[in-house]
């Protein structure tokens, strides 16, 4: 299993549009990609402009296919000006 974690810091003015976009993206990933096994979206209680995504894929190739999907490209283009910081980490399940 291939695990991806993403941390976002969003401009406060775009908090609600980002939340809508990221939840739609998560749903699209789960329903359109057979090898996307989990896609959780979390929002910080203390700092609402901070988001944490936890995604699991069958393997690294499945994640690469995710990065090429139309819904990923649309999401990335939509939120690019709303993002202050984005940090991506990848992991292998032990």
Any idea which fold 2-92 has? Alpha-Beta Plaits (3.30.70)
Q: pLDDT, tens digit, for every residue of 53-91?
A: 999 999 999 999 999 999 999 999 999 999 999 999 999
Average pLDDT, integer, range 15-44: 98
**Residue 18: its pLDDT value, please?**
98
Q: Any residues with CB less than 8 A from the CB of 41 and at least 6 apart, and which?
A: 22, 23, 26, 51, 52, 53
Confidence of residue 49 (pLDDT cuts 50, 70, 90): very high
pLDDT of residue 29: 98
Overall average pLDDT of the 31-36 stretch: 97
């Amino acid at each position: 299993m291939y695990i991806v974690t993403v941390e976002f810091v969003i401009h406060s003015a775009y908090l609600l549009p980002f939340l809508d976009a990221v939840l739609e993206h998560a749903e699209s990933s789960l329903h359109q990609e057979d090898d996307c096994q989990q896609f959780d979206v979390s929002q910080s209680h203390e700092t609402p402009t901070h988001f944490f995504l936890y995604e699991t894929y069958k393997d690294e190739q499945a994640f690469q296919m995710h990065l090429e999907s139309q819904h990923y490209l649309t999401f990335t283009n939509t939120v690019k000006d709303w993002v202050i910081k984005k940090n991506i980490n990848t992991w292998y399940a032990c």
